[in-house]
């Protein structure tokens, strides 16, 4: 009997180690994508096309990580038959994995716009909007990953709330870029490229908020994604 | 022995019925989102704010469907311990489910822009860009869902290819809207709202392409999402 218990014990230890390893791989990928994003914004602002090229080349590493994590999730489902909170963790990893990979895609797109912008004539905006929204979504992504690592509900709620702010900033950035276009139509080409980079940043904000919502689901053990009351829930947590 | 075989047979029949039911629920949700999208574009073009309100109100039904499908996937994983191609189907459903729900969100956003546009002064664009790109992404979504329903590899590849076209159309639509803005700055407000609607359409194109990539993965039994050769693969299938 003891032997069998030992055996079970070993299996559950191995199972926990596997779950832990998936979580760590996801966070590793998150860290890589964070660096890609920060580097892409910096390269765009500095007009550093060499660095931008490297960011684009590194995107396939992120893609490989996504495939590997999905494979690990499949393997753990097939072999360990997770249930309840273990299964919820695996489901969350599958979803967050997609969001992180898409953030990587957007970072590569920002690097691509950086190369185009470096080739154009100087823009009159001094990249104020990109730097501003860039640092905002960088911080959202960092917080969303921290919230996942520590299963921190409050932090996750904070990220979801911040996304509304980013959307508003994006709206006023667009308006201000249009004003620049009208002042000197020769800048339209450059400014359109900035608009594309902004769009990528705004989309990264959406993905960070998605990650945070998945964390809320994981921690609360129920689906809060679309409760009519998600805003109420967020407001309540915010008031604590 | 016969009895046990019977028993196994029953279980596997029930299992197949459950898989089939998940697939059908996903397609049902896909159909609903398709109708939401078509209605949203039509309401925007017609300036029909009543219909737009209804579309926005119906979005929560899509969200409920998403939660239910995720729950069904969790249940089938926990109870049936799917492996190999069954597991791949479940993983695909989990991923496609997210993309369909996000298309629903974007359709609701288009309806919201429709209400704003109906309240503004008439736009000079006659919504040419929105109607054009709208009908393009509507057809992409329909094809992506058909490809999933029939596991049609060629159709899925077609959708992935079309997304590049939508991105290009989106770029030139933006340029043309900027021209309108410059001709009469009083139209800027209305035209910015059109830009937001276009952005939603373009994003729906991305999601349709994501769905198609998941179908390719499901049919080919291996991950083609990020093969360096995905373009080569697509070219090859295209040449057949």
- CB distance B74–A60 less than 8 Å? no
ipTM score assigned to the predicted complex: 0.75
Q: Stretch A49-70: mean pLDDT, rounded?
A: 96
Nearest CA-CA distance, residue B143 and chain A, Å: 22
Contacts of B71 in chain A (CB under 8 A): 223
Instruction: Count up the domains in chain B and report the number.
Output: 1
Asked if residue A184 has pLDDT above 60, the reply is: yes
178-197 in chain B: CB under 8 A from chain A: 178, 181-182, 185, 188, 192, 195
Asked if residue A228 has pLDDT above 90, the reply is: no
Decide if A229 touches B, using CB distance below 8 A: no
Query: Are residues B153 and B221 in contact, defined by beta-carbon separation less than 8 angstroms?
Result: no
Q: How far is CA A223 from the centre of its chain?
A: 20
What is residue A200's predicted lDDT score, i.e. its pLDDT? 94
Q: What is the dihedral of CA A117, A118, A120, A126, to 10 degrees?
A: 70
CA–CA dist B101, A205 (Å, integer) = 18
| Range scoring the smallest mean pLDDT among A227-236, B71-80, B83-92, B128-137 | A227-236
CA–CA dist A20, A76 (Å, integer) = 12
What percent of chain A clears pLDDT 70, i.e. is strictly above it? Answer: 90
Of residues B208, B211, B167, B156, the one with CA closest to residue B37: B208
What is residue A238's predicted lDDT score, i.e. its pLDDT? 46
Task: Specify the higher pLDDT residue, B103 or B182.
Answer: B103
What is residue B239's predicted lDDT score, i.e. its pLDDT? 43
- CB distance B77–A77 less than 8 Å? yes
The residue in chain A having the minimum alpha-carbon distance to the alpha carbon of residue B98 is A95
Decide if A64 touches B, using CB distance below 8 A: yes
CATH, residue B200: 1.20.58.220
Domain carrying residue A6 = 2-239
The residue in chain B having the minimum alpha-carbon distance to the alpha carbon of residue A59 is B226
Nearest CA-CA distance, residue A199 and chain B, Å: 9
The residue in chain B having the minimum alpha-carbon distance to the alpha carbon of residue A196 is B171
Decide if B153 touches A, using CB distance below 8 A: no
- CB distance B188–A199 less than 8 Å? no
- Rounded to 5 degrees, φ, ψ at A151 are 50, 50
For chain B, the helix, strand and coil percentages under 3-state DSSP, each to the nearest 5: 90, 0, 10
What percent of chain A clears pLDDT 90, i.e. is strictly above it? Answer: 66
Sign of the alpha-carbon torsion through B220, B225, B227, B233:
positive
* B2-46 and B128-150 helices, crossing angle to 10°: 170
Consecutive H or E run containing B59: helix B49-80
Decide if A87 touches B, using CB distance below 8 A: yes
Asked if residue A212 has pLDDT above 80, the reply is: yes
Asked if residue A222 has pLDDT above 70, the reply is: no
Dmax over CA atoms of chain B, in Å, equals 83
What is residue B55's predicted lDDT score, i.e. its pLDDT? 98
| Nearest beta carbon to residue B77 from set A87, A95, A228 | A87
193-222 in chain B: CB under 8 A from chain A: 195, 199, 203
CA–CA dist B80, B89 (Å, integer) = 13
For residue range B93-130, what is the model confidence (pLDDT) as tens digits?
Answer: 999 999 999 999 999 999 999 999 998 877 788 899 99
| Range scoring the smallest mean pLDDT among A216-220, B40-44, B220-224 | B220-224
């Amino acid at each position: 009997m003891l032997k069998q218990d030992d055996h079970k014990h070993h299996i559950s230890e191995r199972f926990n180690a596997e779950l832990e390893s998936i979580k760590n791989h996801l966070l590793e990928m998150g860290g890589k994508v964070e660096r890609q994003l920060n580097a892409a914004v910096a390269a765009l602002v500095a007009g550093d096309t060499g660095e931008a090229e490297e960011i684009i080349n590194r995107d396939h590493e992120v893609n490989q990580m996504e495939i590997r994590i999905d494979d690990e999730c499949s393997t753990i489902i097939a072999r360990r038959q997770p249930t309840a909170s273990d299964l919820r963790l695996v489901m969350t990893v599958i979803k967050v994995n997609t969001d992180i990979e898409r953030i990587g895609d957007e970072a590569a797109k920002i690097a691509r716009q950086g190369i185009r912008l470096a080739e154009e004539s100087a823009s009159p905006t001094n990249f104020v909007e990109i730097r501003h929204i860039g640092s905002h979504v960088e911080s959202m992504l960092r917080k969303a990953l921290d919230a996942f690592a520590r299963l921190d509900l409050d932090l996750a709620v904070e990220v979801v709330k911040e996304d509304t702010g980013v959307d508003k900033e994006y709206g006023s950035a667009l308006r201000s870029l249009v004003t620049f276009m009208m002042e000197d139509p020769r800048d339209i080409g450059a400014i359109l490229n900035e608009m594309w980079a902004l769009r990528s940043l705004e989309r990264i904000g959406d993905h960070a908020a998605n990650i945070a919502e998945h964390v809320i689901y994981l921690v609360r053990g129920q689906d809060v994604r679309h409760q009519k009351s998600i805003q109420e829930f967020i407001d309540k947590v915010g008031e604590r």
